Structure 1
Amino acid sequence: MNKRHIFLDKVIEQVKSKDAKDSIKLEMEHHIQLAKEGWIKKGLQEKEAEERAIKEMGSPILLGLELNQLHRLTVDWMVFACTVCLLMIGLLPNITSDLLFIAEKLWTILLGVGIVVGIMFLDYRKCKELGYVFYMIGSILLLSVILFSNITINGINYLKVGPIIIKGIMAIPFFLLAWASLFTKKNFSYLSFLLFFFFSSILFYLGYDSISTVFIYYTMVVVMLFWSSFSKKQIVLSIVTGAVLFILLFGYAFFARLHRLLGFLFPDRYAQDVGWIYLYREKMWASLKWIGSSDMELLSFVNRTDTVFLQLSSQFGYVIAVVIVILFSALIIKMIRNVRYIKNRYGKLLLIGAIALYSIQVIYNIGMCMGLFPIISLSLPFISYGLMPTIINALLIGLVLSINRRKNIS
């Protein structure tokens, strides 16, 4: 074994992170080789030049300790703490429910925390070359709903396999992994993107379960496009194409709900129809106290899923509303700030897509409950009732933590 290998082995012995060992070794070999070539140009023989280059690096033990500190795996405790707090707040709407219901929510919370921690310890980089695989999985999920749906809920078809109900929104995390991978491939052309995007849009159209599902999917793709290697003209063309495609495929759904939009814009004119929901929401906010519930009764449209933020505010006052907004804001801002520290391009795209998916749910749901947006079916991450939304958002936060955990590793 030559001196270079002995030196590198001593350096690597000081590094605790298995993920960082290979990248550090390659980096060190590169530096030694550059220094060696420099000494050769100055007239030294190859062997002597290498010895000089190694000597310049200093003590291998001290260097290894410094690199270990620099490349250590980290945990974003703020993101993790905010996530756990939001999951626990999800218990509040159920405190007056029976023990079985509370136990079910507790199990969902524990499952959510488990998924976050489990995904955090997985190395996201191993998914980089699996873009086409994840795209196929997402497509197969949508096709299974289209071709084999066997249950109808509120007029919408789903596929039920044992206790599991498969719906379109379950495909979105796979498409997130797919687009992050495909956008980093050098041979992935703009035409390929348009074809892949068009095909996925058709599948979402045929397996359509909610316009909110399509809304967050399109938002994710658009945001990731801005960080792709495509030109500005291509990005603008993509957004226009996506908008036209959305209108063509889902325009019928928009016009079918046009009266609901008019009810949101002009609630007084539609007070006896769809406008009463928005008028009643205004009265609820006007009647809230800082602490404690209002004197008004909750109506059926205020529930533990889509309008849970309004329910909690009504039950516990403005204080809980402020706490929830602060927690979500802190979580999203911290995730956004982490983007600049990610060196891995695939990891950066994956992080941006995850932030977009998570943030649009939070912003729209809270805005919807506060009267800024029309009411649609869209859950509030970790607080709304439901197993599947909790699992999907736990996967997103787990990915965020996995990426940030390896931010010091290229």
Structure 2
Amino acid sequence: MLTDRKANGLILYILHLVPYFLFVFIGNVLATLLYSFIIIGMVVWADMARLKKIYLLIIGASGLVISLATRLKTSITGEYTEETTFVYSNIQEVFTHAKWLRMGEGNRTAGVPEAHTDLALVTIIHQFGWLAGLFTVIELIGLLARMLFIFPRVNEPLGKVLIGGGVTLLAFQTFYNLGMILGIFPLVGVPLPFISYGSFPIVLNAIVLGLVLSVYRRKSTFHAIKVE
């Protein structure tokens, strides 16, 4: 529907709003935030009427505002302040004692919760050094850059939408996870793509990467028959 200029606008808006209401109803801030970014990433590259695009971007921006307002309310009311302070102090301790090329002293990641999932990069830095951590981050950023590099070569509107959504999904996880580790963003359980332990995020990201590869493999395919 994002690539069909004749698609019913009302149905399109309803289909995008229903997930928002469901995420807000169950109080899943992370899902609302992620869904908002994906919508924006897909709509920006969608070949659709300008007015429809503006409305859908407003929907995506509204989701971001709702998510950020919820997190801001949590910060203002002081919820989880003691817990998050404890986590960040332990992360800072790991970074302070981390070496460039070898393991840090002691098992300092024991005080870091989710050190094998959401905060896996902290474990990598502690176990293998700062260079290993930097190499991991460079590899992920390189993957995003490569996906953006192939974007201009894709002529199919649906392919552009899929790549836009895929890049947005992986970029959000990568940079938000880095922001959590650095203390810029609150801890909401965002994994590091292809690094954090967990079957669901790995399978999800693998599916996204497979879609992008499939689009790239067919980038030179032209359809001689157009459906009127």
1:203 aligns with 2:203: no
Q: Offset at 1:367? A: 2.4
In structure 1, the residue matched to 2:140 is: 328
Maintained 8 Å contact 2:5/2:49:
no
In structure 2, the residue matched to 1:393 is: 205
Distance 1:372 1:262 in 2: 16
Change (3 A) 1:362 1:236: same
Equivalent position amino acid for 1:404 in 2: Y
Q: Offset at 1:280? A: 2.9
In structure 2, the residue matched to 1:376 is: 188
Maintained 8 Å contact 1:282/1:371:
no
In structure 2, the residue matched to 1:292 is: 102
In structure 1, the residue matched to 2:93 is: 283
Maintained 8 Å contact 1:302/1:310:
no
Moved more, 235-244 or 194-203: 235-244
RMSD of aligned C-alpha atoms?
2.7
Equivalent position amino acid for 2:187 in 1: I
Equivalent position amino acid for 1:230 in 2: A
In structure 1, the residue matched to 2:226 is: none
1:344-369 alpha-carbon deviations (Å, 9 max, x no partner): 11111111111111111111112221
Distance 2:63 2:171 in 1: 24
1:138-168 alpha-carbon deviations (Å, 9 max, x no partner): xxxxxxxxxxxxxxxxxxxxxxxxxxxxxxx
Q: Offset at 1:277? A: 2.2
Distance 1:367 1:408 in 2: 38
Distance 2:75 2:193 in 1: 25
In structure 2, the residue matched to 1:214 is: 32
Report matched runs for 1:135-150 at 5 Å. none
1:340 aligns with 2:159: no
Tell me the SS of whatever aligns to 1:255: helix
Q: Offset at 1:238? A: 3.9
TM-score by length of 2: 0.83
Distance 1:357 1:300 in 2: 26
Q: Offset at 1:248? A: 5.8
Equivalent position amino acid for 2:15 in 1: F
Equivalent position amino acid for 2:123 in 1: Q
Maintained 8 Å contact 2:163/2:212:
yes
Distance 1:284 1:392 in 2: 30
Q: Offset at 1:338? A: 0.6
Q: Offset at 1:240? A: 3.9
Q: Offset at 1:237? A: 4.7
Maintained 8 Å contact 2:84/2:187:
no
Maintained 8 Å contact 1:219/1:357:
yes
1:310 aligns with 2:122: yes
Equivalent position amino acid for 2:90 in 1: Y
In structure 2, the residue matched to 1:183 is: 2
1:159-180 alpha-carbon deviations (Å, 9 max, x no partner): xxxxxxxxxxxxxxxxxxxxxx
Q: Offset at 1:275? A: 2.0
Change (3 A) 1:342 1:257: same
Report matched runs for 1:48-67 at 5 Å. none
TM-score by length of 1: 0.48
Runs of 4+ in 1 over 6 A off after TM superposition: none
In structure 2, the residue matched to 1:139 is: none
1:16-70 alpha-carbon deviations (Å, 9 max, x no partner): xxxxxxxxxxxxxxxxxxxxxxxxxxxxxxxxxxxxxxxxxxxxxxxxxxxxxxx
1:300-344 alpha-carbon deviations (Å, 9 max, x no partner): 425211100111111111021011012111111000011100011
Distance 1:282 1:252 in 2: 26
Report matched runs for 1:79-228 at 5 Å. 182-208=1-27, 210-228=28-46
Q: Offset at 1:235? A: 4.3
Change (3 A) 1:378 1:289: same
Equivalent position amino acid for 1:185 in 2: D
Larger Rg: 1
Distance 1:249 1:363 in 2: 17
Change (3 A) 1:249 1:376: closer
Maintained 8 Å contact 1:288/1:318:
yes
